[in-house]
Structure 1
Amino acid sequence: MRLPDVERGDTLRSRTLIRIISAVSGIRLPDAARVAFYHKGFVGPMFGAWTQAAMRGPSEWSIGERELMAAMVAHWNSCTFCIGAHRAIAVRGTDPQTVNACLADYRTAPIPERLRATLSFLETMTREPDKLDATHAQAAFSAGTSQAQLVDAAAVAAIFNIVTRYADALDFTIPTEEEFDKAAGMMLKRGYS
């Protein structure tokens, strides 16, 4: 259900910022950013800081790998907006064919075993969270994933298990591939907070 205040902004300041950013970027400000302007208590500074830390903070995972994880969580949750948005960012730091192969089936994609095992952990975390246990973590560790990497990956999945649900609940508009690409460039420069 699209809320008019998410579309246009709920305050004069938000409306003005949405218009200015859209005009300067040359694209409609994506709904993910619009939500950040909607009632700060909904997706406010704390959520933005958590997302920024998980996606752009220090990590043994590259930005491209973390964006791929976000795209995979979106894929498992069938969130078209988030698949497009995070795929567009991931392909700027990871080979596009590899990203597409992961989205088709990460089990057969040409990726390192530690990433494959981590994606398996995240898939269980996303699709069957009550089945997630120490054996899933141990499988990732056995494949070469460090504890810090698994913690970072779990943070990415936790965030995007939230984001995908509100993206679909608020009926986010699906940008064109060109708009996703432009937004990806902005996200790489600006980050999430």
Structure 2
Amino acid sequence: MAHIDLGLDETQHPGITGLMTYRPETAVPLNALAEALLRAPHPTLTAGERELIAAYVSGLNDCTFCCSSHSAFAAAQLDGGMPLVRQVRVDPDAADIPAKLRGLLRIAAAVQESGRKVTPELVDAARAAGATDLEVHDTVLIAAAFCMFNRYVDGLGTRLPEDPGAYDETALRIVASGYVGSA
């Protein structure tokens, strides 16, 4: 049970979905932010890669709901599926991903710890691996936003889905309709 009365059946609205239902006036901009960061057309980062960054940061923050959700969303959009997502979450340095993505994940991990942990050396290393300024920017913004989303979900003590398969079902909806279309 959430720390506050959401006025709804939390088994039907686990995690952030219950919070979005409770405060639709904040749900609209939060969903729009998620849509812009994770689903909107991007010149170089795929939706799966952006979801992977969100899942990775959420795992570092120990946010079970967001990590599980965005892992499923990433897996549904990446050729390596859930095995690749698990590899990245355990050890991005050993995962079978491009060096550019590895560099961006290092930046995301630094943001998760503190924005001030992002150093010129981390940015230069990502650039040397092929990252653009836009990709560095968007990685920092995704990581920062997911620190906020993770704290929102966990700070209010939201409930997890009773069926772990719910994450896969939601992934199908997100991939098909996005965050704004599925709200």
Q: TM-score per shorter chain, which class?
A: 0.7 to 0.9
1:142 aligns with 2:125: no
Distance in 1, matches of 2:169 and 2:69, equals 10
1:135-155 Cα distance to aligned partner (Å, 9 max, x none)? 221111111111111122222
Which of 158, 164, 169 is 1:177 aligned to? 164
Q: Is contact 2:15–2:65 with CA below 8 Å preserved after alignment?
A: no
Distance in 2, matches of 1:40 and 1:179, equals 22
Which of 82, 99, 110 is 2:85 aligned to? 99
Give the root-mean-square deviation of aligned CA atoms. Answer: 1.9
Q: TM-score, normalised by structure 2?
A: 0.87
Q: Is contact 2:107–2:139 with CA below 8 Å preserved after alignment?
A: no
Poorly superposed stretches of 4+, deviation over 4 Å = none
Aligned pairs for 1:74-153 within 5 A = 74-94=58-78, 95=80, 96-153=82-139
Structure 1 segments unaligned to the other structure (5+ residues): 10-17, 19-26
Could you tell me how far 1:102 is from its partner in structure 2? 0.4
Could you tell me how far 1:163 is from its partner in structure 2? 0.5
* Counterpart amino acid of residue 66 in structure 1: R
Greater Cα offset, 110-119 or 180-189: 180-189
Q: Indicate the structure (1 or 2) with the bigger Cα radius of gyration.
A: 1
Could you tell me how far 1:63 is from its partner in structure 2? 1.1
Q: What does residue 57 of structure 1 align with?
A: 40
Distance in 2, matches of 1:155 and 1:58, equals 16
Greater Cα offset, 32-41 or 54-63: 32-41
Structure 2 segments unaligned to the other structure (5+ residues): none
Could you tell me how far 1:31 is from its partner in structure 2? 2.8
Q: TM-score, normalised by structure 1?
A: 0.83
Could you tell me how far 1:29 is from its partner in structure 2? 3.2
Q: What does residue 4 of structure 2 align with?
A: 3
Structure 1 residues 192 and 98, CA, compared in 2 at 3 Å: closer, same or farther?
same
* Counterpart amino acid of residue 176 in structure 2: K
Greater Cα offset, 44-53 or 176-185: 44-53
Aligned pairs for 1:9-28 within 5 A = 28=12
The structure with higher relative contact order (CA 8 Å, sep 6+) is 2
Match of 1:4, SS? coil
Which of 44, 53, 61 is 2:27 aligned to? 44
* Counterpart amino acid of residue 64 in structure 1: G
Q: What does residue 19 of structure 2 align with?
A: 35
Distance in 2, matches of 1:165 and 1:76, equals 12
Q: Is contact 2:54–2:70 with CA below 8 Å preserved after alignment?
A: yes
**Identity level (%):** 27
